[in-house]
Amino acid sequence: MRTQVGIVGAGPAGLMLSHLLHLEGIDSIILENRSRSYIEGRIRAGLIEHWARDVLIETGVGERLQRESLFHHGVNFCFDGALHHIDFQKLVGKGVTVYGQQEVIKDLVARRLADGGQILFDVSDVAVHDLTGSSPRISFNHGDKAQEIACDFIGGCDGFHGVCRPSIPDGVLTTYDREYPFGWVGILSESPPADDELIYAYHERGFALYTMRSPSLARLYVQCAYDDNIANWPDRRIWD
């Protein structure tokens, strides 16, 4: 197989990269180790910054976002037992949009396939080769068959734990890491929003965040010990 840009990972970065390249007349192939149904149903991030919302709309993949998303004019901080509202619109004339990452994925996948883009799902054993040469390659298995893509560039959009980052030669990347002595319990609740906008809460028992994914899905985060285990958080404790 041959393409101009081989892209590893069909997350928001890989799909958007492929879409932007297509708009400039540049061919690409995306490799994804999960199924289409998996990436379109996986709950992850849900808050989109103003500039990113603009890019989705301006490049033709924001129609459903404009129709179904929740636009927030600001955010709430809670401390000393009181809410304090920060009005983004008043301060900088911008806001943020709540629209689940899985919804962005659905929109981008649908657009790439409608435009004739190539996305290979359920691939395995992905490896990148000759990164520093003029003819990089990506090898992988798809449909129980070993295959290879020859390309001009490789887009490593497979995240921190993917195959591309550790394949970069030594001495090229500088990594900065800071570990904090606490963790988070992430909670997805099928319940209507308790407030119109996000609440970042500072409390004597730790930090908590109230956010949402839709008018019927709440996303909550509670600070916990760094070595805590989800087994210590049954539904009853969460509700309490």
For residue 211, the domain's CATH number is: 3.30.9.10
Which one, of 192, 236, 188, lies nearest residue 209 by Cα? 188
pLDDT per residue, tens digit, the chain (240 aa), is 999 999 999 999 999 999 999 999 999 999 999 999 999 999 888 899 999 999 999 999 999 999 999 999 999 999 998 999 999 999 999 999 999 999 999 999 999 999 999 999 999 999 999 988 889 999 999 998 999 999 999 999 999 899 999 998 888 888 899 998 999 999 998 998 888 899 999 998 899 999 998 888 899 999 999 999 999 999 999 888
Same domain, 223 and 160: no
**Distance separating alpha carbons of residues 231 and 154, to the nearest angstrom:** 40
Same domain, residue pair 97 and 193: no
Does the residue 172 lie in any domain? no
Whether residue 205 sits in one domain with residue 87: no
Query: Do 155 and 230 fall within a single domain?
Result: no
Q: How far apart are CA 62 and CA 54, in angstroms?
A: 8
Residue 174 lies in a domain: no
CA angle 71, 77, 79 (to 5 degrees): 160
**What does pTM read for this prediction?**
0.90
Residue type, 212: M
Q: Are residues 144 and 225 in the same domain?
A: no
Among 115, 136, 167, the domain boundary falls at 167
Same domain for 109 and 153, yes or no, is yes
What are the CB-based long-range contacts (under 8 Å, 24+) for 231-240?
Answer: 233/185, 238/185, 238/187
Judge contact between 109 and 40, C-beta under 8 A.
yes
The domain that holds 158 is classified in CATH as 3.50.50.60
Structural domain ending residue among the three candidates 117, 143, 167:
167
Of the residues 167, 198, 220, which one is the last residue of a structural domain? 167
193 and 142 fall within a common domain: no
Residues 68, 152 within the same domain: yes
Domain boundaries, position 195: 183-239
Does residue 196 sit in the same domain as residue 124? no
Question: Would you say residue 173 lies in a domain?
Answer: no
136 shares a domain with 47: yes
What total of structural domains would you count in the chain? 2
Contact 7, 30 (CB under 8 A): yes
Q: For residues 152 and 159, is the Cβ–Cβ distance under 8 A? A: no
153 and 71 co-located in one domain: yes
SS3 content of the chain, % helix, strand, coil (to 5): 25, 35, 40
CA separation, residue 55 to residues 49, 50, 61, 175 (Å): 10, 9, 9, 28
CB atoms within 10 A of CB 59: 15
Please tell me the number of Cα atoms within 13 Å of 117 on its side-chain side. Answer: 30
